[in-house]
Amino acid sequence: MRLAAGLLILFLAAAAGGRIAAAAGGPLPGSVIGLLTLLPFLAVSAVRRVIEPAAELLLRHLPLFFVPACTGLVLWLDLLAGNAARLAAALVLSTWIGMIAAGWVAARLGAGSGRR
């Protein structure tokens, strides 16, 4: 019962977020708008009790849910193969640049300093 109610809320929040995203435009996808809409309601303990089992179930299997969309890659294989080396260079360097920037700024501003 709790699981079903939790899943219902997650689906409704996703659907509502999708509607808002479609109407409002802007860069945030409906699922993120749904997440932000749900967040304040988690202050209510009854909502938390219902959401917890449903959220943990969906999050445990999250990787499976984006497999079908990734399989769309089949339409892009030639493009990928023709650009593999340059793509790898762009991904490697930008991952490191983003990581160092995030870590450097977070450390400068004292992330975790209260705990360690």
Partner 1 sequence: MTALPGLLMTLAVYLAVDAVHQRSGRRPVTNPVLWTVIVLIATLRLTGYDYGAYREGGRLIHALLAPAVVAMAWPLWQRRMLILGDARALVGGALAGGAAGALSAVLLARLLGLPDEMVTSIATRSITSPVAMGITERIGGVPALAAVFSILSGILGAVTGPKVMSLAGIRGSAAGFAIGTASHGIGTAQVMQEDREAGSYASVGMSLQAIIGGLIVAALWRIFG
The least CB distance from residue 48 to partner 1, in Å, is: 8
1/62 with CB nearer partner 1: 62
The least CB distance from residue 2 to partner 1, in Å, is: 14
Task: Rule CB under 8 A: say whether 100 interacts with partner 1.
Answer: yes
Neighbours of 50 (CB within 10 A): 21
Contacts of residue 38, Cβ cutoff 8 Å, sequence gap at least 6:
9, 10, 13, 51
* Window 32-61: residues binding partner 1 (CB under 8 A): 32, 34-36, 38-39, 42, 48, 51-52, 54-56, 58-59, 61
> How far is the C-alpha of 40 from the C-alpha of 18, rounded, in Å?
18
